[in-house]
Homo-oligomer: A and B are copies of this chain.
Amino acid sequence: MEFSAIQIAQLLEGEIEGDGTATVHTLAKIEEGVPGSLSFLANPQYTPHIYETQASIVIVNKSFEPEADINSTLIRVDDAYRAFAQLLDLYNQMKHDKQGIDNTAVISESASIGSDSYIGALVSIGDNCKIGANAKIYPGCIIGDNVTIGDNCLLHSGAIIYTDCVLGNHITLHSGVVIGGDGFGFAPNSANSYDKVAQIGNVIIEDHVEIGANTTIDRATLGSTIIRKGAKIDNLIQIAHNVEIGENTVIAAQTGIAGSTKIGKNCMIGGQVGIVGHLSIGDNVKIAAQSGVQNNIKDGDIVQGSPAFNVREYKKSYVYFRKLTKMAEDIEDLKKQVAESKK
> With contacts A28-B222, A184-B253, A193-B248 known, is A307 near B313, CB below 8 A?
no
- Contact between B289 and A289 (Cβ–Cβ < 8 Å)? no
Q: Mark A32-60, 1 if CB is under 8 A from B, else 0.
A: 10000000000000000000000000000
A310 to chain B, nearest CB (A): 9
Give the complex CA separation of A216 and B230 in angstroms: 23
Question: Which chain B residues lie closer than 8 Å to A253 at the CB level?
Answer: 184, 216, 238, 240, 256, 258
Q: Interface with B: A13-21, A61-69, A70-78, A158-166, which one?
A: A158-166
Partner of A184, one of B160, B229, B240, B252: B252
Identical copies in the complex: 3
Q: Which of B187, B195, B210, B324 contacts A320 (CB 8 A)?
A: B324
Is there contact, CB below 8 Å, between B157 and A158?
A: no
Contacts of A307 in B (CB 8 A): 318
A325 within 8 A of B: yes
Task: Check A222/B266 contact, CB under 8 A, given A140-B140, A197-B88, A212-B184.
Answer: no
Q: Give the interface of A toward B (CB within 8 A).
A: 27-29, 32, 85, 88-89, 91-92, 95, 102, 104, 106, 120-122, 124, 126, 138-140, 142, 144, 156-158, 160, 162-163, 172, 174-176, 178, 181-182, 184, 186-187, 192-200, 208, 210, 212-214, 216, 218, 221-223, 229-230, 232, 234-236, 238, 240, 247-248, 250, 252-254, 256, 258, 266, 271-272, 274, 276, 289-290, 292, 306-307, 309, 313, 316-318, 320-325, 327-328, 330-331, 334-335, 337-338, 341-342
6 residue pairs A–B, Cβ–Cβ below 8 Å? A95-B163, A106-B122, A124-B157, A158-B158, A193-B229, A338-B341
Beyond known contacts A88-B221, A320-B324: 8 more, CB 8 A cutoff: A178-B235, A181-B235, A192-B266, A213-B218, A218-B235, A306-B306, A331-B331, A331-B334
